[in-house]
Amino acid sequence: QVQLVESGGGSVQAGGSLRLSCPVSGFTYSSYCMGWFRQGPGKEREGVAAIDSDDNTNYADSVKGRFTISKDNTKNTLYLQMNSLKPEDTAMYYCAAMWGRIGSRYRLESQVYNYWGQGTQVTVSS
């Protein structure tokens, strides 16, 4: 049984930083992609960042230069370091995982992911 559990969300002022974590259990595929998604109030879920088993990364234009996705294979944990946070970053953040390989253009598409966490709330005040 695959489980993903996000943590690290909270409330910060604009310009602040947060680090999200997502330990993954029961996921033993050698080829995979993992990602962070978010859904703000009244908005559709959008892809924020993704990283595959070869450490190739993808970022949404809105977070490039501010967010960094990484993973620690020894701890089976996915991270999202978020710096220079803006009020528009306010959202529920979800981690997701999929097995297999997928083209770069699809890594920020939610429909390709098989497994999801429950989310952690990030609130950025101005």
For residue 8, the one-letter residue type is G
Give percent of the chain with pLDDT exceeding 70.
Answer: 100
Task: Give the pLDDT confidence score for residue 61 in this predicted structure.
Answer: 98
- pLDDT of 53 above 90: yes
Residue 85: predicted pLDDT:
98
Instruction: List, for residues 74-100, the tens digit of each pLDDT value.
Output: 999 999 999 999 999 999 999 999 999
What are the beta bridge partners of residue 118?
Answer: none
For residue 97, the model assigns a pLDDT of 97
Kind of pairing, strands 120-125 and 10-13? parallel
pLDDT for the residue 123: 98
> Quick one: pLDDT band at residue 20, thresholds 50, 70, 90?
very high
Task: Look at residue 102 in the predicted model and tell me its pLDDT.
Answer: 92
CA-nearest of 18, 49, 36, 109 to 10 is 18
Per-residue pLDDT, 27: 87
How would residue 71 be classed by pLDDT, with cut points 50, 70 and 90?
A: very high
Pairing relationship of beta strands 32-39 and 91-99 according to DSSP bridges: antiparallel
Is residue 44 scored above 90 in pLDDT? yes
What are 109's two structure tokens?
């598409």
d(CA 6, CA 95): 7
